[in-house]
Structure 1
Amino acid sequence: MSIRSGVAAALVSIAVTGVGAFGAGPSAALPRSPGDTPMCAGVGTPRTVVAQPTAFEAVAFDRSGRMLVSDLMGNRLIAVDRPGAAPRKVARVESPGGIAPLPNGRVLVGSGSGPAAAVSPDSASLVEVNPGTGAHSVYADGLSMANGVVRAPDGTVYASSNIVSAIDRISPDRKVSRAWFSDSPGNGLAVSADGRTLFANVSLGDTRILAVDTATGTSRTYFRPPAGLDWVFFDDLDIDAGGTLYAPIYLGGQVWRIGRDGSHCALAENLTTPAGISVGASGAGFSATSVYVTTHAGSVIEIPGAVPSIAR
């Protein structure tokens, strides 16, 4: 079995049998403690804000501050219009993955992020969705997976895969550059405020976070876990206005905050399969000082006070 096929098989196994929402399979052994990771100071107690019997993948906030969540197992995009509101289905999206807000109030959602991507590459797409009406249409297709999706300030969109070594690039005129950047498979993406740097997880193998120059496509290692923690599996990724990164540690049950100086600490621990992450937004009543984390156990968790004051 090749390394790539082995990775694909392992991820399919996680997606099919390892979802904590069903209380069985490999997830029963999670989380695993990632050593002596220090806890971040001044952070509030995590609290569950959404709980459903499914597997949530990504979370994001649209221009109005509405929370959007991709339901991987339910093939739908859901919205939580304000804190305490009941989640509602916005649109059907097949195996939804990453979510990227657009300036027009709509969002881009990756479609084709499930196990089928392992056997049918280049079949994923981006769907543009109106969170208010549910109207949706294909924005771009022929992608590798779109598990992580991020939009740069100039309108360029990047989509990642945890099955094949590819980050696809979609220009503002929707031209797809397939496998614009290739490295080990990974999920999360985040882009700097000036659009010059794309941060990308390498989730398997040589686990780390890369900083990719968006002009040249060259990369360097930006952050690497401490020795002995190469198994932690970085899942999603987000960045705040001050350049601090946030990453769910899928196999370690933690959420890490990673500073620009290379330091890191845990915002939360003992979570079950944390998968997606987003810095909050205040427009609809959610908190811009919190980060919000999805899990494959069917919950969205708010971590209050997670965002340093410098980025608020």
Structure 2
Amino acid sequence: MSDARRRRRGAVARLASTAAVALTAVVGAAPVPASAVAITPCPWRATTVASGLGSLENLGFDGAGTMLVSRTVGSSGQLYRLTPDGTGSTLLPNVAAPGSITVADGAAYFTTGNNFLSGIFGNKNGSIARVDLGTGAPTTIATKLTMPNGMVRLPDGSFVVSRNIGWTTGLTRISADGTRESRLAPAVTMANGLTYDPARGTVIASMDLHPVSTLALVDINDPAHIRTVDLGLFGLFGFPDDLTVGPDGLIYLAMDGGDIVRIDPDRHAACILASGLFGSTSVRFGAGPGWDPHALYSTDLFGTIRKLTPTTG
């Protein structure tokens, strides 16, 4: 069997397995708002930056001209780097089931152990690690985590990670040195992608195994204060994944089901930037030389990186 067919089968199996879990998890889902946001089309132009890279989970920019992606090729995971001309190379090999990437202070922070079976069986084989972007030297920050999927690094240096599969899902806050952890906002369950909005002082989580696709905005200074955004029409099989806050203050969300969506939580509105991008996992705006700061870059389960730009006229 070709590598391409294995990647397709693996990606379809991931979505099918997640759907099966979803069907059994709905009864315990947290309540969501009664009315969904108003959703309209606002198509952006999508072009391919690179393809055939394995299965891609997340991306980030180092600000100096390099895109970083977490990818799995066969059974091997790694952090991979890409230059604007499409040239790629391995930054860190042998990373077990890499997940989210956050770049700060000359380093890339990332999760490992983002594995479906780890979530199902509650295996504590996940971690938060750091790689120095100058030297390439890795450091482990926190261990014994279960399926850390999304991750954000907060202004105080602490982390929030998400888990969307298993008996105890949701958000965990971990100290900057990795020695302490606590449950954050227990009402937020089945959390997948995470981003931090400094303007609102909130951690924004996508909740992907609910009857409707939902975002939760958690006030980091008062975690009991949670605002939810109901994306409605995507339903159980939209699979909201990773997300980011754009320069305009709006939320941009990748959906495994194939849509890239922009959400304005204050106006209770959203629009679909692109459809049919099946397996989309993460989105980030370009940063650094050679990467368009006005463009949204996306990854997917089939190894494709795309650039989405606003259309004119």
Query: Structure 2 length as normaliser, TM-score?
Result: 0.80
CA contact (8 A) 1:72 1:114 kept: no
Structure in which a larger fraction of residues adopt strand: 2
Long gaps (5+) in structure 1: 1-18, 31-35, 307-312
Equivalence for 1:106: 107
CA contact (8 A) 2:57 2:71 kept: yes
Alignment of 1:1-312 (within 5 A): 22-24=7-9, 27=12, 38-40=40-42, 43=44, 45-73=45-73, 74-80=76-82, 82-92=83-93, 93-103=95-105, 105-118=106-119, 119-164=121-166, 165-182=169-186, 183-194=188-199, 196-206=201-211, 207-227=213-233, 229-251=235-257, 253-260=258-265, 261-281=267-287, 283-305=288-310
Alpha carbon RMSD of aligned pairs, Å?
2.5
1:64-117 C-alpha deviation (Å, 9 max, x unpaired): 24210000343100011x3114111000211000001112x1110101002342
Instruction: Give the CA deviation at 1:216.
Output: 2.4
**One-letter code aligned to 2:126:** A
1:229-254 C-alpha deviation (Å, 9 max, x unpaired): 34311011111233211111112x11
Partner of 1:304, secondary structure, is strand
Within 2, Cα distance between the matches of 1:279 and 1:24? 29
Q: 1:100 to 1:141 in 2, by over 3 A?
A: same
Within 2, Cα distance between the matches of 1:228 and 1:126? 31
Stretches (4+) displaced over 6 A:
none
Within 2, Cα distance between the matches of 1:285 and 1:277? 17
Query: Structure 1 length as normaliser, TM-score?
Result: 0.80
Query: How many residues matched?
Result: 276
Within 2, Cα distance between the matches of 1:101 and 1:195? 20
Within 1, Cα distance between the matches of 2:276 and 2:307? 14
CA contact (8 A) 2:11 2:302 kept: no
Instruction: Give the CA deviation at 1:40.
Output: 1.4
Within 2, Cα distance between the matches of 1:96 and 1:38? 34
Q: 1:210 to 1:219 in 2, by over 3 A?
A: farther
Within 2, Cα distance between the matches of 1:106 and 1:172? 14
Instruction: Give the CA deviation at 1:59.
Output: 0.7
Instruction: Give the CA deviation at 1:54.
Output: 1.2
Q: 1:239 to 1:216 in 2, by over 3 A?
A: same
Long gaps (5+) in structure 2: 16-37
Partner of 1:235, secondary structure, is strand
1:150-198 C-alpha deviation (Å, 9 max, x unpaired): 1122322111112241312122343331433333212111111247211
